[in-house]
Amino acid sequence: AVQAAPVSTTTQAEMYLSQFGYLPASARNPANSGLQDKSTWLNAIQEFQNFAGLNITGELDDETLKLMSLPRCGVRDRVGTGDSRSKR
């Protein structure tokens, strides 16, 4: 069977944060697969760390990558946070 890869790179983390609603799709630039806005990226990691009860470092530390690699539900954590975030 195909095995889901653990999250170990920035690109994989970026996809993870996008998939589960922490990073709006518009933050990604398809031209270079890079992030246009550093603060959006930082905020996304911090939001994930806050939600998951991790230390809020804003960095892709081992603890954060380990949690991202856990089996989980495929439903977004942040519902309604696509490209159009709600006001609050």
Partner 1 sequence: YALQGSRWRVKNLTYKVSKYPKRLKRVDVDAEIGRAFAVWSEDTDLTFTKKTTGPVHIEIKFVESEHGDGDAFDGQGGTLAHAFFPVFGGDAHFDDAELWTIGSPRGTNLFQVAAHEFGHSLGLSHSDQSSALMAPFYRGFEPVFRLDDDDKAAIQSLYGKKTSQPKPSNAYPVTSTLRPSYTPPKVPLDDSICKDSKIDTLFNSAQGETYAFKGDKFYKLTTDSVEEGYPQLISKGWPGLPGNIDAAFTYKNGKTYFFKGTQYWRFQGRQMDGVYPKEISEGFTGIPDHLDAAMVWGGNGKIYFFKGSKFWRFDPAKRPPVKASYPKPISNWEGVPNNLDAALKYTNGYTYFFKGDKYYRFHDARFAVDTATPAFPRPTAHWWFGCKNTPSSTAVGDH
CB of 50 to partner 1, least distance (A): 8
Binding flag, residue 84, partner 1 (CB under 8 A): no
Nearer to partner 1, 36 or 57 (CB): 57
Query: Is residue 2 close enough to count as binding partner 1 by CB under 8 A?
Result: yes
Question: Which residues inside 42-81 make contact with partner 1, applying CB under 8 A?
Answer: 50-53, 67, 70-77, 79-80
Query: Would the CA dihedral through 37, 21, 48, 34 be positive or negative?
Result: negative
